[in-house]
Structures are given as C-alpha cells and as structure tokens.
Amino acid sequence: MSPDQSGIKVTILGSGTCVPSLKRSSCSVLMQIGASRLLFDSGPGTMRRLLEAKTTIFDITHLFYSHFHPDHSAEFVPFLFATKYPDGSLRKIPLTVAGGRGLLYFYERLKSVYGQWIELAPDLMEIIEFDNKNADTITFEDFTVNTAPVQHIKESIAFRVISSDGFTAVYTGDTDYTETIIDLAKDADLLICECALPDKLKVEGHLTPSLAGDLATKAGVRKLVLTHFYPQCEEEDIEAECRQTYSGPIVLAEDLMEIEIG
Ligand SMILES: [Zn+2]
Ligand SMILES: [Zn+2]
C-alpha cells in the first residue's frame, strides 16, 4: 500500500494470550494507514512477528496500549531498548505511544528499573493518555482514534480507528461484555474482538464467542475477527458458537493473517 492509498491494512501479529505457544504469539495487531504504521499492544514475541510481517520497529509510528497486562505490554521495554541500538539513529520518525490514563505512570515506573536504557531522545517519543472513564478522541495525520472504557482492568480502553477516507477498524483489547463496545463499534467495517474462552468456560473480564457475536450484531459491524484465544479454544467449534449470535462474516485470527479494508 503506497502512502496515498486509502483504507486500512490489518495484520494480526499475535492471536494468543499469556500462554506460551508456537502457533499464537501474545497479543498484538498492526494497522497500516497511509504512511502510518500503528501497533496495538506488544505482547512477548511481537518484534519477531513484526519482522515476519516485513516491518521493523523503526517503521512503527504509533504504539497503542489497550491495558498493561504483560501479555499486551511486555515487549514495550525491549522495543525501546532495541530502538536505541546501536545509537538510536535508525529511528527517523517520532514514536507516539498512547494508552489509557496511567500510561505515563507506567512508563515512569519502568524507567525507575531500566533508566536510560529505555529513554529515547525527547524529539523521538511522545506519550499521550486517553481518558479511561469516558469516550475520547484524538485526530492524527492519517487517521482519527476514538476510545471508550471497557470492562477488564482500570486503565482498559478499546480503540476505533478511522482512516481519513472513512474506513473503520475497532480493536477491543481485553474486555468483558460491555455496551460501550456497541457504541464504539457502530457500523464499523471490522471489529477485532477478544474471545478468550469458549462459551462454557466464561470467566469474568473476558468474552466468549457468543458474547462477541452479540456485540458485533448489536453494533452492526461488517466483519468480525475473533482473537486472544486461550488453548481451550482450540478444542471447541468457536465459529459455531459465535454463529449463534452473529450472521455476518466471521474470521478466526491466526498469527500473520492480513485483512484489507477499503
Ligand atoms: Zn490479554
Ligand atoms: Zn488483560
């Protein structure tokens, strides 16, 4: 996709969880919009999957965190450390890091452990916090991001990304069933929704296939991608469970799967 082309290209980098898996890396999603490269979460293994997707850490323009659980955030430290190697000169464009309230504090605490190993030059990195109690919006050069609080841990937010030509992709991060997702994902072209466990193994703070399908139906999304699969999902018919509540196209995420919108 050249910088002047429209739409959003999504690559699932990690469709797994905290559970080590050769098949499913921990959570991460890449979105390509014009000249921008957006990374949503960076669980362990993300930088290697990025390379497999023919993208380096230096290409990433924006790094968004849905929340700070290690399966979503742990590769932030190696990402910053690698950005400084050998002398930081390989990064030509500034990195914007954005997440819910608490991101600045999270980074400060990481710095209290790692110090200058994870500090980039001031003109190479900025940190932005979204409101995590109310809906929020920030407009960037190639796209706009709307966020909404979701039900998982206190800083958790979901993202709606709108390209400048009006295509939309929503990423829930981790969440339990919450109506804020229905509003955030209204009429979206793509909903990338967590689906941690099969229906019969529902736990607090996470969704199941039929609940994800219910959110997608109520939001009227055009395509639903289920991701964040714990190993128990491999033993059930996740698509059939989701089909009980959603009649549109369902995609079960796999690492390095590409989905083009627009
Ligand atoms: Zn998770
Ligand atoms: Zn989590």
pLDDT mean over 113-130? 96
- Residue 6: predicted pLDDT: 77
Token digits for 221?
């999304």
Other beta carbons less than 10 A from residue 17's beta carbon? 26
Which residues share a beta bridge with 40?
29, 64
Distance (Å) from CA 206 to ligand 2 centroid: 8
CB atoms within 10 A of CB 40: 23
Which residue type does 23 have? K
CA distance 209 to 240: 8
Q: How many C-beta neighbours within 10 Å does residue 162 have? A: 20
d(CA 17, CA 229): 6
Percentage of the chain beyond pLDDT 70 is: 98
* Residue 86 Cα to ligand 1 middle (Å): 32
Task: Provide the phi-psi class of 186: left if phi over 0, else alpha when psi is between -120 and 50, else beta.
Answer: beta
Q: Rg for the chain (alpha carbons), in Å?
A: 17
CA distance 150 to 133: 9
Residue 123 tokens, joined: 């003109």
> What value does the mean pLDDT take over residues 251-257?
98
Q: What are phi and psi for residue 126, nearest 5 degrees?
A: -130, 150
Tell me the pLDDT band of 2, cut-offs 50, 70 and 90.
very low
Q: Is the peptide bond before 20 cis (omega within 30 degrees of 0)?
A: no
What is the 55 CA–ligand 2 centroid distance (Å)?
25
pLDDT for the residue numbered 4: 57
Query: Are the beta carbons of 43 and 19 closer than 8 angstroms?
Result: no
pTM for the whole structure: 0.97
Whether the Cβ atoms of residue 229 and residue 238 lie closer than 8 Å to each other: yes
Helices (H), the chain: 46-52, 70-73, 76-83, 103-114, 179-184, 209-219, 238-243
pLDDT band at 88 (very low <50, low <70, confident <90, very high): confident
Summarize the confidence of residues 116-140 as an average pLDDT: 96
C-alpha 6 to ligand 1 mean position (Å):
30
Closest listed ligand to the CA of 72: 1
pLDDT at 160 over 60: yes
pLDDT digits (tens, 9 = 90+) for 20-43: 999 999 999 999 999 999 999 999
What is the distance in A from the centroid of ligand 2 to the CA of 153? 7
Is the pLDDT reported for residue 229 higher than 80? yes
Give the Å distance between the CA of 192 and the centre of ligand 1.
13
Q: What is the rounded distance in angstroms from the CA atom of residue 13 to the CA atom of residue 253?
A: 9
pLDDT tens track for 241-250 = 999 999 999 9
User: Mean pLDDT for the chain?
Assistant: 96
What average pLDDT does range 182-192 have in this prediction?
Answer: 98
Q: Counting ligands in written order, which one lies closest to the CA of residue 175?
A: 2
Tell me which DSSP letter residue 25 carries.
Answer: P
5 pLDDT higher than 90: no
Per-residue confidence at 1, pLDDT binned at 50, 70, 90? very low
Output the CA 123–ligand 1 centroid distance in Å. Answer: 31
Locate 37 and state its tokens.
């490269």
What is the tens place of the pLDDT at every residue in 135-158? 999 999 999 999 999 999 999 999
- Report how far apart the first and last C-alpha atoms of the chain are (Å, whole number): 11
